[in-house]
Amino acid sequence: MPAGRPKGTPKTGGRKPGTPNKTTVAVKEAFKQAFDDLGGTSALVTWAMENPTQFYQLYSKLIPTEIDATLSGKDGAPAVKINIVKADK
């Protein structure tokens, strides 16, 4: 018989879905502190004005690379599905 819980048995224990990893949280807090110590938003604006290419490269990484949405029509109208995926370079 294979090890583990039987098929169909609910999972118990462990981390709840969506719970952030402690290391990830610590790193994000460290970066936020460093950002604040370096001058925060005003320092970022100064750097961005001196380095617009690098700024926009970083900023573009904040844009979602994939959006998947499904819209359902009223009164039995057909649903519309929109898929936006990252374009190949």
- What is the CB-side half-sphere exposure of residue 77 using CA atoms within 13 A? 7
Q: Is residue 29 a part of any domain in this protein?
A: yes
Which one-letter amino acid corresponds to residue 31? Answer: F
Distance of CA 72 to the CA centre of its chain: 26
End-to-end Cα separation, the chain, in angstroms:
49
How many structural domains are present in the chain?
A: 1
Give 8-56 pLDDT, tens digit per residue: 888 788 888 888 889 999 999 999 999 999 999 999 999 999 999 999 9
Q: For residue 43, what pLDDT is reported? A: 97
| pTM (two decimals) | 0.51
SS3 83: strand
Inside any domain, residue 30: yes
Q: Residue 42's domain spans which residues?
A: 22-84
pLDDT category of residue 70 using cuts at 50, 70 and 90: low
Q: What angle do CA 38, 52, 28 make, to 5 degrees?
A: 40
Q: Does 10 fall in a domain?
A: no
